Structure 1
Amino acid sequence: MQRWFFLEDAEKTQTRDHKDESQNESLKSSSQLIYRKWLFKVCASDLKPDETVCVTGSCDELGAWYPDKCVPLLKQESDIWSISLDIPDKKHISYRFCVCVVIEPGLQVIVRHWETAIQCRDIDSDAISPRESDDPLSYGHTQNYYKVDRGWLNKETVVQLKLCNNPLTLWRPKYLNRRVYIKVTPVTLQHHLSGLTSNSVIIDDSLSADTLEDTGEGPKHSYTEVASLQDEDPRFNSQGQFGKEYHDDEMLIFQSTLLFPNNIAFLIDLYIYSSRCSEGEPPYHAGFSYLLPSALQQSEGTAVLPVTSTKHRPLGQIRIDYLVIKPLPFPCDMSTTYQRHWNRRRAGLDVGHRGSGSSFKTKNCAEVRENTIASLKNAIHFGADYVEFDVQLSKDMIPIIYHDFHVCIAMKKKNNMSETDMLELPVKELTFEQLRMLKVYHLTEGKSKNPRFFDDEQEEHQPFPTLQQVLEVLNPHVGFNIEIKWTMQFHDGSYELYHPTDLNLYLDTILEVVLKYGGNRRIVFSCFNADCCTMIRMKQNKYPVMFLTQGETILYPRYYDPRCWSINSAAQYATMIEMLGINVHTEDLLREPSLIKCAVDKDLIIFCWGDDNSNPDTIKFLKELGLHGVIYDKMYQYNSKEIKESIFLAEARDSQKALLIVAAQNAENPTSPPPPVNITGDTKFDIEKIRQNMDDMMSTATSLESLESRVSEYDKI
């Protein structure tokens, strides 16, 4: 008979308690560490008044990589920051510096920017602490190069206000051909304490909008920046006194970082220069609009606002496309980031399109159903470095692998049971169980009533595998190019699909799966929707993002968003948001190969996609142009590698070989430190660095199994 723990004899309970206490004491004694003092000292310039230099690292004393627990340094003089901390002795410590706004130490911290080199700063187990008289470290400079990136959203929210496709209309003829400046200022709204309804708000208008930011009386810890897609330098910068000059056919993006967006309105001021103004004369305040928080109910949307003159007369209207980016509901640590890291020696990577290729085109189709486990495995077997696949959500919010927004299901007619018709349904209207249980057809199969595949009973050939399943079962040495499917607006105002799911929730659901099951796999996100790319970049700090764009083409209808119109626009926006790179349509490159320079000059990684890639000569030509990755169908037919395996698997094998040789030398001469091992020419392997990189190079399974089972194989290499 089962005995419940809460019915245990009192005597036995007392005995067990004493036993647990003795075990805890023993554990506590054995876990006691010896500490040593270490001076962290760094020089960091150009900080904002509320910013502080902090340090985070691999031990509890440095916050264990969690941003909220990072340790603030103390400002000593001008740009010098330092602090002396107790850290574990005889233990290797890794750490990074970051610039933060510390709202509540240990609980609420905003990371403005941070050191993002792949190799962290290190403290060796037997190293000696720097002295006060020593020169400080230089913020951002590690491993002989400078690497600092903007932070991601930890506690704060970002609101972007986008002005594109000539959104400003002024009704007074005298304003034609005048220089117009636009300024966006967040304004705090406060709920009235008594006498009004719960939705009533008041605004403190004791200061003019022009001075709110300068005096710090705006929303606390907020700041607003602006960028133009047409500027030579498209990166975000602080607004001028009168904001940013507006031009026709330009795209301006105002970006405000806020802690409490529900209480923030946006004041949009218009400043116009007089037609007879002299040099140095400022513009005059012509009018303004307010965008209230009640208008920002969704993650994205459009608002058309009246522009009122300073004399309270209608002056015109302005159309604002907004984007609200919220932080993930779970934290990201600062131990590893690949957001803007790429090994430049890796060029011309082979990327399997939807696995082994599109299987529902009018001609030259792949023989394995696209976006299935079987298709992805087939591409991997024939040497893909990355596999590209599409991710969207089912009705019950499960990330699944599928390309099209719609599917067809068979439906029998009432009057003739021998005939069937096809019903077209959005994927988002079906649950995962329904997608897996129903006989589902691709749109082309539904229109032609001619099914292509009859292998649904085989698990790996089933459509709609989950993102978690793909992350868990496929070879960990092959990279993933995860394309996020989200509806786009066409230039005529129509949409690919009406999507009621909130965009923040949609992306959070996908990111949670990737961050939980991604492990050490190389993963790159991409999306045609520029706002999705922005949100993925800002929501997490680990995986890179590439802006997927169709550019100038006659094959597909034009999108509404000007960021998609050309390779140059895509490169400008990727630079603005600090993405890894762009993924462009090959049609553009074949027409004008010099367009690659637009990306390379901005230090961006560039992939390409398109039906033109279904040709071995074209693939070879694109690689010779210097593209970092080529996405194409039929890996089994077009891959020209002599050895059909991922480049990352080859690198992992080389690292294992180097580690085994060094380990063998250690066994032969354990008393002397191992010298660097020269295996291939001038290449030298540092055992400590190899060990630190092992997690990045291979999975746990590979490191344990291969080191033992392949020792004899390495002797033959």
Structure 2
Amino acid sequence: MVACANGHSDIVSCLLEAGVEPESCDALGWTARELAVFRGHLGIATLFTSTPSETTNGGPAGSHRLAYKNPRQTFFSNSSERLVVVNLGSTQGGHDRAAFELSHYIPERSSGPRSTSSLVLEICAPGTEADAKLVRLPILEDQINQPFIFQAKNEAPLQISVRLFRRESMDSMVLLSRGNTTLDHGKVFFGKKRESMVREVTVFMMDKETMDLTGTVLLSYVVATPFAGLQQPDTTNYQRRLGDPMRMVGHRGLGQNTDNRSYLQLGENTAMVRNNISFEYTWALTSNLQITRDLEAVIFHDFSLSESGTDVAIHDVTLSQYKHASDLQEPQSITPATIDTSGVLHGYPQRRRAWSTGEESRLRTVQLRDRLRYTVDFQSKGFKPNTRGDFIQGSLATLDELLMNLPEDIGFNIEMKYPRLHEAVDAGVAPVTIDINTFVDVALEKIQRLAGNRPIILSSFTPEVCILLSVKQKTYPVMFITNAGKVPMADKELRVASLQVGVQFARFWNLAGVVFACEALLYCPRLVQFVKNAGLVCASYGLLNNEPILARKQADAGVDIIMVDRVKLVAEELAKDGTMSNTSLN
């Protein structure tokens, strides 16, 4: 159990080979496998050959963690302030950068019998009325979900001051060193609407007497600005009660890292669209939202617009460039090059051929493949979804088009696909993107103006986006999406590293729930009730959700919402015993 909880896979393998009982429980009723999955070590769960118990009682299902009972109610007191959220240390893993390096003050270099246990770190934001935050050293617990929050006036400089004290007594502390930093220096380099994906600063600490460098403190941060609107509180409860059906969210693609571009050929018959995508079985659809360089909200899954033949990111193209990449795949007999500026060809108006499958259509497919061949996205996967001739292909859409053209009774899970650092690294492009407040505000403005009474959930893999959605608006529930330790772990963000920290994060920021990679819940079904006992909606996504028997296992475990690609196949399986009914989903 200790080896599983701490991720020591070699030791776990040895113990299993030696014949230990894999389903034994600890004093709280947890199995070793549950401890591994809870801490994000899903690779260890694959070492177990025994079938996990399908009981939904005991162990994690009976845990009620007091730390999860009181979510933080963070809000703007007025429209002239900003919230500054600061974490001690990096929120990214995969490196050896310590939260602080204060070697100048270790015992062997001190003048007396001092120890690091008498040191206190003070973090404050000058120009704000918030109290300074004190951290006693050494730090003995994980700080990833214990941020410091300051309220700053809009006109106040975004500064953070760090001071190191030695505690002499309960009422007396002696200043040793200090340092300062600003949080908005990036605007000078990238412009008002752009920022680095790396939201970290290193504070250099200077000795108060000699001004010598005495160490460094690493801080991560995000700044939230208010949004005017969407302040009517949401009262919808998405948790299943006993006897309630499981909600299904349709997702076009193959699960993770594939495509779910457009749910409709805009302008086509709505009834035909409903039948093709099995809307009658779904409660909502997943729409992957990104923002273009000219601040237009579009529906696109992948980081790069590979259709252009380059690795350019969506946030680096304009809406017209995005649309042009879509038009290049349109099944029409007239190419843009043959049309003059009046839109007339040989004296006749242009006429679109909507379903062409002739020689010209095949030529377009060949040309597209040639463009894709040298892109990072295509080379890593061997294919590019939504390409004509290889997949069922539709026009690239905008959020405006979906909100205006789809019936209002069809709900949306709007996944905010803010660019993540590991995506930029994988694509080999600079980690600079649209300012995160601008990104979220553009999306919220569109939703506020066009959503009407449509049921909507807002979700994101990016913790900072979830924070901003939580504090900026109250109308729509916010859900945090996490891999929960699913391997391979390309994303090094520490707050998506396990089910444990995902639940902690969601509770701290008063989110509605968490969307997990389904593997964690399939390995350990009792963890579903653990999440729900924390007051959170439990949802899942992933390729395995397309297997009806696995979807049923999650329904039986109590999962509230499941995201699937094969909507009709899964829905028909779940409807056999009333686990899902058409009436409850529409």
TM range (shorter): 0.5 to 0.7
Q: Which residue number in structure 1 is paired with residue 143 of structure 2?
A: 250
**Aligned equivalent of 1:302, options 184, 200, 209:** 200
Confirm or deny that 1:292 pairs with 2:179.
no
More strand by share: 1
Match of 2:458 in 1: 525
AA of the residue aligned to 1:286? L
Quick check: 1:268–1:288 contact (8 Å CA) kept in 2?
A: yes
Partner-residue secondary structure (3-state), 2:505: helix
Q: CA deviation at 1:373?
A: 1.9
Structure 2 CA distance, aligned partners of 1:545 and 1:319? Answer: 29
Number of residues of Structure 1 aligned to a counterpart in Structure 2:
434
Q: Which runs of 5+ in 1 are unaligned?
A: 1-145, 189-218, 226-238, 411-421, 654-717
Match of 2:312 among 425, 436, 443: 425
Conserved? CA contact 2:177–2:208, under 8 Å: yes
Equivalent positions of 1:44-443 (< 5 A) are: 149-152=73-76, 154-155=78-79, 156-165=81-90, 166-172=98-104, 173-174=106-107, 178=117, 180-188=119-127, 219=128, 222-223=129-130, 239=133, 246-247=139-140, 250-251=143-144, 252-273=146-167, 284-292=174-182, 295=185, 297=187, 301-311=199-209, 312-328=211-227, 331-332=228-229, 334=231, 336-338=232-234, 341-342=237-238, 344-345=240-241, 348-354=246-252, 370-373=261-264, 377=274, 378-409=276-307, 422-438=309-325, 439=328
After superposition, what is the alpha-carbon deviation per residue over 1:97-141, rounded to whole angstroms, capped at 9, x for unaligned? xxxxxxxxxxxxxxxxxxxxxxxxxxxxxxxxxxxxxxxxxxxxx
Instruction: Report the Cα offset of residue 380 of structure 1.
Output: 4.7
**Cα drift, residue 652 of structure 1:** 10
Give the Cα–Cα distance (whole angstroms) in 1 for the partners of residues 396 and 264 of structure 2. 9
Letter of the 2:204 counterpart: P
Matching residue of 2:36: none
Q: How does 1:669-708 map to 2 (within 5 A)?
A: none
> Cα offset for 1:617?
0.4
CA contact (8 A) 1:372 1:461 kept: no
CA offsets, 1:595-635, max 9 Å, x none?
Answer: 32442222011111111212000000011111110111111
Higher relative contact order (CA 8 A, sep 6+): 2
Does the 8 A contact of 1:408 with 1:425 survive in 2?
A: yes
* Contact 1:153–1:539 (8 Å) recurs in 2: no
CA–CA distance in 2 between the matches of 1:319 and 1:539?
A: 27
Q: Who wins on radius of gyration, i.e. which is larger?
A: 1
Q: Which whole-Å CA distance do the structure 2 matches of 1:359 and 1:602 have between them?
A: 26
The equivalent of 1:607 in structure 2 is 539
Structure 1 residues 169, 399: closer, same or farther in 2, change over 3 A?
A: same
Segment drifting more, 549-558 vs 614-623: 549-558
Q: Which has the higher helix share?
A: 2
Unaligned runs of 5+ in 2: 1-69, 91-97, 108-113, 188-193, 266-271, 330-367
| 1:283 shift after superposition | 5.3
In 2, the alpha carbon distance for the partners of 1:359 and 1:453 equals 17
The match for 2:563 is 631
Residue 515 of structure 1 and its aligned partner are, at CA, apart by 1.1
Report which stretch shifted further, 284-293 or 536-545.
Answer: 284-293
Determine helix, strand or coil for the equivalent of 1:258. Answer: strand
Structure 1 position 534 matched with structure 2 position 467:
yes
- Partner of 2:475, secondary structure, is coil
Identity of aligned residues (%): 18
| TM-score, structure 1 normalization | 0.53
- In the aligned structure 2, how far is the partner of 1:546 from the partner of 1:153? 24
SS at match of 2:458: strand
Distance 2:118 2:521 in 1: 37
Deviations 1:55-95 (A, max 9, x none): xxxxxxxxxxxxxxxxxxxxxxxxxxxxxxxxxxxxxxxxx
Q: Superposition RMSD on alpha carbons, in Å?
A: 4.0
